[in-house]
Amino acid sequence: MDVEVRIRGLMMDPATNMPIVVLKDPASDAVMPIWVGIFEANAIAIELEKVSAPRPLTHDLTRNLVHHLNGGLEKVVITEIREDTFFAVLWLRQGDESVMVDARPSDAIALALRFDCPIYVTEQVLQSARISGSATSEGQNSEQLRGWLEGLNDEDLGSRYKM
């Protein structure tokens, strides 16, 4: 079963100085951090802030291509964690045809924002990330990190990125 999540925030990991997308299950206290690259974080931040670039960036280009081919993005699903790496799938539709496309979660999230479509995480991934602290930064105690993420308020996340 898939759990719909919301972007709780986009922030920098104080231990590694790497961007983190914090996903939250609105029906529970479950939060799931995903460490992303600088460029992917920028693509997500641009859409969260509704900043328009003078020329289409990669995710904007992808959205435009899908639209011009009479397609749409129905949802994105973060499907698994393997060796501390998250995997995602884009659910695209063109007419009556539905197509699943493999994607990095950071790209999937950036596209979901541009298409205004839901983001899901499989229950197994959400539980695994929550219990084992998968995909945590090296050298950081996963329980400390989890407590820190769950205890964040809007001021900690920064008003620019709260959802």
pLDDT for 77 equals 98
pLDDT for 154 equals 53
- How far, in Å, CA of 147 to CA of 150, rounded? 5
As its CATH architecture, domain 2-150 has Roll (3.10)
pLDDT for 132 equals 37
Q: Which amino acid is at 91?
A: W
Candidates 40, 1, 34; CA nearest to 122 is 1
pLDDT for 129 equals 80
Q: Where are the domains of the chain?
A: 2-150
User: 101 vs 22, 46, 87, CA distance in Å?
Assistant: 23, 23, 11
**Does an H or E element contain 44, and which?**
helix 38-48
pLDDT for 150 equals 57
Q: Determine contact, residues 22/11, Cβ cutoff 8 Å.
A: yes
Round the average pLDDT of the chain to a whole number and report it: 84
Low-confidence ranges of the chain (pLDDT < 70): 130-163
pLDDT for 13 equals 87
Structure tokens belonging to residue 54: 């003078």
**pLDDT digits 0-9 by tens, 26-36:** 988 788 999 99
pLDDT for 75 equals 98
